[in-house]
Structure 1
Amino acid sequence: MIYLRLWHQSLLSVLPKSQLLAQWRELNSIFAKEDRHILINYIYDYSKDDLFAYTQLVLQEMRVRNVNIRTVDKMERYFAEGPFENVTHPFVHHHNDEYLEICYFNLKEKFIRGQKDFDKERYEALRNMYEALE
């Protein structure tokens, strides 16, 4: 079963590497098949500008962490009709404070349950970021 989620953009920098990599896979699945799932259906209520801006944020974080991006073919095909408007807060009505809280507690549970690549240092960074945004 596929569980798609686009993490709140404020949390991208503190995601464990496995969540960041999964985010890229999930985006590519959207690019290839326009997946539908209860956790991401909202993206289709927005213009592609929002998904493009969000994708750029994910790619930027991957570059910061020196994560190798093997292919962008699906993304390039999906966004071929660009250019796109600059959106500073993608999915603004959905990626709100409540969604930030949902994502935070989802990640907190992953830490508590012992996700292997989620060390105490990354969790503290997550917690500090969340508390600063409250």
Structure 2
Amino acid sequence: MRLWHQALISKLPRQQLLGQHREIAALRGNGWGRRHATVDYVFRHSPFKLFQFHRLVLNEMVRRGYQPNKCWYNPLCRGQHCPPYKQLAEERETDPIYPEHDDAYLQECLANLRQKGIDL
């Protein structure tokens, strides 16, 4: 499981974009707080940050003609198998959304994609 650098979202091939949506949906649901080495940094931030990141992915999906469930546009939504948050403190928008998504992380993501035969 990995969150791609946000600068890559609009450039990801279909498979990676849809995979990103599935992974974020899992994290927003019952996967929130379950340790995973590659994405542990998201748990140091409010779940609202993950919603903000997911919104980037959702908007790209819509731009490409997909129709994701509208529930995901609600920051309280946690999917079909998890009760929604009762409330969630909004954080101010930052760029990048996650400070961990720096230039070094971008290069790491690009190298990971190249290993998969994807050269962006």
TM-score, normalising length: structure 2: 0.79
Higher RCO, 1 or 2 (CA under 8 Å, sep at least 6)?
A: 1
| Aligned-partner Cα distance in 2 for 1:80–1:24 | 23
Query: Are positions 1:69 and 2:75 aligned together?
Result: no
| Aligned-partner Cα distance in 1 for 2:9–2:92 | 19
**Counterpart mapping for 1:52-91 below 5 A:** 52-70=51-69, 72=71, 76-77=77-78, 78=84, 81-82=87-88, 84-88=90-94, 89-91=96-98
Match of 2:112 among 86, 106, 114: 106
**Residue 36 of structure 1 aligns with which residue?**
35
| Contact 1:52–1:79 (Cα < 8 Å) also in 2 | no
**Residue 48 of structure 1 aligns with which residue?**
47
List gaps (5 residues or longer) in structure 2.
Answer: 79-83
* 1:48 Cα deviation from its structure 2 partner: 2.2
| Contact 1:49–1:87 (Cα < 8 Å) also in 2 | no
The alignment partner of 2:29 has SS state of helix
Identify if the C-alpha distance between structure 1 residues 101 and 29 changes in structure 2 by more than 3 Å, giving closer, same or farther.
same
Identify if the C-alpha distance between structure 1 residues 7 and 44 changes in structure 2 by more than 3 Å, giving closer, same or farther.
same
* 1:5 Cα deviation from its structure 2 partner: 0.3
List gaps (5 residues or longer) in structure 1.
Answer: 112-117, 127-134
Match of 1:8 among 2, 5, 8: 5
| Aligned-partner Cα distance in 2 for 1:82–1:59 | 20
Q: Return the structure number with greater helix share.
A: 1
* 1:85 Cα deviation from its structure 2 partner: 2.8
Residue-pair matches, total:
110
Answer with 83-92 or 58-67: which moved more: 83-92
How high is the sequence identity, in percent, across the aligned residues? 35
